[in-house]
Amino acid sequence: MHRLDKDTSGLLLVARTLESQIALAAALERRDIKRTYRALCQGVLTGGGTVDAPIGRHRRERTKMAVVEGGRAARTHYRVVERFRAHTHIEVELETGRTHQIRVHLAHIRAPLLGDPVYGGRPRLPPAPSDELRAALQSFGRQALHACRLAFEHPTRHEQLVFESPLPADFEHLLALLREDAATR
């Protein structure tokens, strides 16, 4: 029901019965399922905001998505959790759910996800980073994106459910190195 891009960590939503699948699909369409992510983007964002830009297939690279005129409506809300010298830890909420939406929207505002091999480009480094931070940023093996929270109404019991997943160790380690770097400058 709720899928994750390859190399994104976190929560998945799976329906166990056809009845549940139909109800959850309807809830997704109505935007009644709240999906929250944590991300580490390149660049320093000054504040939160909303990216409201249509997404469709990239005109030349058909395996990629892009912000395109005439694409499907897509809206992503984000808020700053923590700022570092060359990166920003953000919380992201999806209002819509397009393919690669967070990745495409963050790249569109010139704050691509760290480690994103498709939309992220080369890792950006803060000025004069420690050897450990440089190595960690350059070798982070996936996009720094984690589905941390799902909230929805149970499809048959009609009770509100909330599931949370802590950040994985690789993400936490990177944040600790960035905090250390910011504190020493």
pLDDT tens digit string along 78-126?
A: 999 999 999 999 999 999 889 899 999 999 999 999 999 999 888 899 9
**170 belongs to the catalytic site:** no
The pTM score is 0.92
- Report residue 2's pLDDT band, with 50, 70 and 90 as the boundaries: low
| Strands 145-153, 160-164: pairing kind | antiparallel
- Catalytic residue of the set 5, 52, 170, 181: 5
Between CA 184 and CA 121 the distance in angstroms is 27
Nearest to 101 by CA among 121, 78, 128, 122: 78
